[in-house]
């Protein structure tokens, strides 16, 4: 992943990431998740990234959702 991708959302549960990812997709914003969870103990966070050009719009959409942190 190059420097053109910026983090816009983090969560500990994959379903929260999938909901936000779906919301962004419905608004033509491509996103990529990267799990930072430990594979043995399943603690940690999952990060959701979007292209730098879409950060502002993505954050606005996320802030209107019930999942914003």
Residue 69, pLDDT above cutoff 70: no
**Contact between residue 58 and residue 24 where contact means Cβ atoms under 8 Å apart:** yes
Angle at 29 between CA 25 and CA 30, to 5 degrees: 85
- pLDDT per residue as tens digits for the range 6-65: 999 999 999 999 999 999 999 999 999 998 877 666 678 999 999 999 999 999 999 988
Q: Please, what are the domains in the chain? A: 5-64 (3.30.70.1530)
pTM to 2 decimal places: 0.85
Say which residue the tokens 């910026």 belong to.
Answer: 6
Q: Which of 15, 27, 30 is nearest to 67 (CA)?
A: 15
Burial code (b: 16+ CB inside 10 Å, e: under 16) for 14-46 equals eebbebbbebbeeeebebebeeeeeeeeeeeeb
């Amino acid at each position: 992943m190059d420097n053109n991708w910026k983090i816009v959302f983090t969560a500990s549960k994959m379903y929260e990431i999938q909901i936000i990812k779906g919301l962004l997709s419905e608004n033509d914003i491509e996103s990529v998740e990267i799990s930072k969870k430990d594979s043995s103990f399943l603690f940690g966070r999952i990060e959701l990234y979007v292209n730098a050009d879409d950060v502002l719009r993505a954050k606005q959409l996320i802030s209107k959702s019930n999942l914003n942190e």
